[in-house]
Amino acid sequence: MSTTLYVRLPHRPHDQPQPWQFGAMPFALVRTPVGDKNRRQAAEQAPELLREGHAVPSEMPPADRLVLIVAASDVLLTAAMVPPLPPVRMRLALPNLVEDVLATDAAPCHIALGPAFDGAGSARGPRRRLLMVTDRAWMRAALDQFAEHKHRRRHVVAAQLCLPLAAPVTAPEPAPEPEPALATADGPVSPARAAAQSAPTEVGTVDTSPEQPATLVVEAATSTLAQSALLLDTAAPAPGELSRLWQLTVRTGPYEGYGLLLDDRALSTWQLLAPAGQWHGDNAALANAPVPALQGKRPPMHASRASETWRIWLAGIEECLQQPQLDLAQFEFAQGRMDRWNVRAWRWPALLVVALLLVQIVGMNVQWLTLRKEAKRLEAAQVDLLHTAFPNVPPVAEPILLMRRQVEQLRTASGRSTPNDFLPLADGFARAARDLPPDALLQLEYRAATLYVTLKPGTNTSALQNAVRQAGLQMDEDRSPPDAASRSGGAPAPTGSHWTVKAEGGTAS
């Protein structure tokens, strides 16, 4: 189920300076079925009126959808040929299309683009479309009143487009009347036949297309609107006559309608020019309005005053909302994509994500602190072990390297050879190079715990590297060999491939 809050905005007061003060406004909270399997059956179900009354925006109940109904007298419906333009350029071009039908300047007006009329214009060229004109400042003030209201979607529609359309009436074709016969030389002839013989070949046709009756709603104006004497062309009414102002909303077609605010005398005079159609009214209008079409209509005793009024509007407002282009909230008043999201529904998942991130960050920091403490403990244990074995060694940053060097020095002092000495390196390399040709080795030099080997060009070094690795040594290509003076006492270095042989894991002392 989905809930919709309908709010009827008051007339724009011409005698009050900005900012306008909004008082209590009529509203209706309606629940409609959505998401059912049988959509046709759900659409046929009448909406359920949950709550109605008058309240300020801050006291109105929350709903899934908010629908603001602008008074019909504040919205001008007109049509114009609109060229296909992008939204930014369209907004700049619309004032030029309506300036001829406005009595004021088009600059302070908000112009909404409605649907296109059927069969008007081409799909790529200009098309005749509906334009809805209202005051921009009044539109912004009304939307600001509901900025703090809790809703997911928002629509702004004109009141005259929310009335239900009456069923079209087909005019009956008049029956032909009997015509007297005329005497001629050839015999009696009917007047129609005589006129057909003397008239031109064009024959007029009778228009039998159905006529669209109007839908008219008369309601008692609110007290705040009744106090605005500038809304009337007549003199200001006396204080006792303030309650006899009537709000008139007229819909004459699918995209046609207007609104008026009249007193008793003006309403009686206007009925002479009123279009034919169905009249509706609230309890006050049914009892006091000087409208002959409303006489004899009395609401049922079990129906409340407000619910009977909202029943008329709810009959046609859903059909209006099914056309998104009839929404006045366009261009700068369009609802953003973020506003259409149900932020409250994502409240708990967002809190859960934030909580997981906090737990992850806290856990990573705790783990880092634990590992840092363990590293400091191991480093302290290594330093203690080094000082225990060699008390005279000063504290250093790398106790492992210093321990290895001290052990090698002790081994050298005791007469034992280390893996980086010349004899172990030369012996291991000799055993690995026993399959080499006799002339493959050009030079062999030991320096800084490293054995430098120069091989004859074309020697199979891949097999030699595998053999050296099996002997426990490490053989790498010497890409930056030392100069000739330092290697062979000033003799030129032989031409060939240069390699370095070291003990695996060994370092120079």
Q: What is the CATH number of the domain that holds 307?
A: 3.30.420.380
Instruction: Output the pLDDT for position 20.
Output: 85
Q: Residue 189 pLDDT more than 80? A: no
Close Cβ partners of 335 (under 8 Å, ≥ 6 residues apart): 153, 154, 329
Per-residue pLDDT for 302 more than 60?
no
Calpha distance 317→320 (Å, rounded) = 5
DSSP 341: S
Residue at 273 is within a domain: yes
Higher-pLDDT residue of 219 and 179 is 219
> Is the pLDDT confidence value at 98 over 50?
yes
Report whether 54 contacts 144 (CB < 8 A). no
Residue 233 has pLDDT above 60, yes or no: no
Q: Are residues 143 and 248 in the same domain?
A: yes
Range of the domain at 379: 363-412
Q: What per-residue confidence (pLDDT) applies to 182?
A: 41
Q: For the domain that residue 461 is a member of, what is the CATH number?
A: 3.30.1360.100
Please tell me whether residues 405 and 497 are part of one structural domain: no
Annotate 12-40 with DSSP letters as a single string.
PPTTSPSSP----EEEEEEEE--S-S-HH
pLDDT higher than 60, residue 136 = yes
The whole-number pLDDT of residue 78 equals 92
Cβ atoms 484, 509 nearer than 8 A: no
Rg (CA), the chain: 49
Dihedral angle over CA of 215, 220, 225, 230, nearest 10: 70
Query: Looking at the domain assignment, is residue 24 inside a domain?
Result: yes
What is the DSSP code string of 110-141? EEEEEEEPTT-S-SSS-EEEEEEEEEHHHHHH
- Which one has a higher pLDDT value, 407 or 452? 452
More confident residue, 182 or 289: 289
Most confident residue range from 180-184, 370-374, 405-409: 370-374
Q: Among 350, 379, 412, which residue terminates a domain? A: 412
Whether residue 101 sits in one domain with residue 9:
yes
Position 450 confidence tier, pLDDT thresholds 50, 70, 90: confident
Give me the residues paired with residue 503 across strands. Answer: 473
**Residue 423 belongs to some domain of the structure:** yes
Higher pLDDT among residues 414 and 323, named by residue: 323
Of all residues in the chain, what percent carry a pLDDT higher than 70?
74
Between CA 347 and CA 354 the distance in angstroms is: 11
Measured CA to CA, the distance from residue 396 to residue 379 in angstroms comes to 11
Confidence label for 109 from pLDDT (cuts 50, 70 and 90)? very high
H/E segment holding residue 347: helix 347-389
- Considering only 51-60, 130-139, 200-209, 366-375, which range has the smallest mean pLDDT? 200-209
Is 88 within the bounds of a domain? yes
Confidence of residue 295 (pLDDT cuts 50, 70, 90): low
Supply the angle between the helices 461-470 and 422-432 in degrees, to the nearest 10.
120
Q: What is the pLDDT of residue 173?
A: 58
Q: What is the mean pLDDT of residues 140-151?
A: 91
Give me the mean pLDDT over the 253-271 stretch.
89
Confidence of residue 434 (pLDDT cuts 50, 70, 90): confident
State both tokens at 383. 């330093």
**Residue 155: pLDDT above 90?**
yes
DSSP readout, 350-415?
HHHHHHHHHHHHHHHHHHHHHHHHHHHHHHHHHHHHHHHH-TTSPP-S-HHHHHHHHHHHHHHHTT
Interval 193-227: pLDDT, tens: 444 344 444 434 445 556 788 988 888 876 444 34
* Same structural domain, 384 and 296: no
Domain count, the chain: 3
Residue 204 lies in a domain: no
Residues 324, 408 within the same domain: no
Q: Which contacts qualify for 350-359: CB closer than 8 Å, 24 or more apart?
A: none
Confidence bin at 40 (pLDDT 50/70/90)? low
Check whether 252 has a pLDDT greater than 70.
yes
Mean pLDDT, residues 378-399 taken together: 80
Domain shared by 400 and 464, yes or no? no
CA distances from 55 to 24, 72, 81 (A): 4, 21, 41
> Do residues 246 and 220 lie in contact, with contact meaning Cβ atoms separated by under 8 Å?
yes
**197: in domain:** no
Rounded to an integer, what distance in angstroms lies between the CA atom of residue 421 and that of residue 370? 42
Q: With 70 as the cut, is the pLDDT of residue 339 above it?
A: no
Q: What is the DSSP string of 148-170?
A: TS--SEEEEEEGGGGSPPPPPBP
Same domain as 292, residue 147: yes
If asked whether residues 90 and 27 sit together in one domain, one would say: yes
Q: Does the structure show a pLDDT above 80 at 309?
A: no
Q: Are strands 2-8 and 65-70 parallel, antiparallel or unpaired?
A: parallel
CA angle in degrees (0–180, nearest 5) for 172-176-182: 165
Q: Which of 38, 37, 130 is nearest to 79 (CA)?
A: 130
- In order of 304, 342, 351, 354, the CA distances from 347 in angstroms are 39, 9, 6, 11
List strand residue ranges (DSSP E) for 190-242, in order.
214-220
- Domain termination site, one of 354, 386, 412: 412
Residue 130 and residue 80: Cα distance in Å, rounded?
Answer: 7
* Of 396, 412, 428, the domain-final residue: 412
Are 428 and 283 in a shared domain? no
Q: What is the mean pLDDT of residues 73-102?
A: 90
Q: How far apart are CA 78 and CA 131, in angstroms?
A: 5
User: Measured between alpha carbons, how far is residue 191 from residues 175, 178, 187, 202, 481 in Å?
Assistant: 16, 10, 13, 17, 130
Average pLDDT value for the chain? 77
- Does residue 296 surpass a pLDDT of 70? no
22/84 same-domain check: yes
Give the largest CA-CA distance in the chain. 163
Average pLDDT over residues 348-358: 93
The pLDDT value given to residue 46: 67
Give me the mean pLDDT over the 276-305 stretch: 68
- pLDDT value at residue 231: 38
Decide if 319 is inside a domain.
yes
pLDDT of residue 64 exceeding 70, the answer is yes
Does a structural domain hold residue 64?
yes
Supply 356's token pair: 């997981």
Which of 42-51, 176-185, 363-372 is the least confident region?
176-185
Averaged pLDDT for residues 476-497: 64
pLDDT of 38 > 90? The answer is no
Same domain? 298 vs 367: no
Q: Quick check: 502 and 449 in contact, CB under 8 A?
A: yes
- What is the pLDDT at residue 385? 86
Q: Do 264 and 369 belong to one domain?
A: no
Give residue 315's identity as a one-letter amino acid code.
A
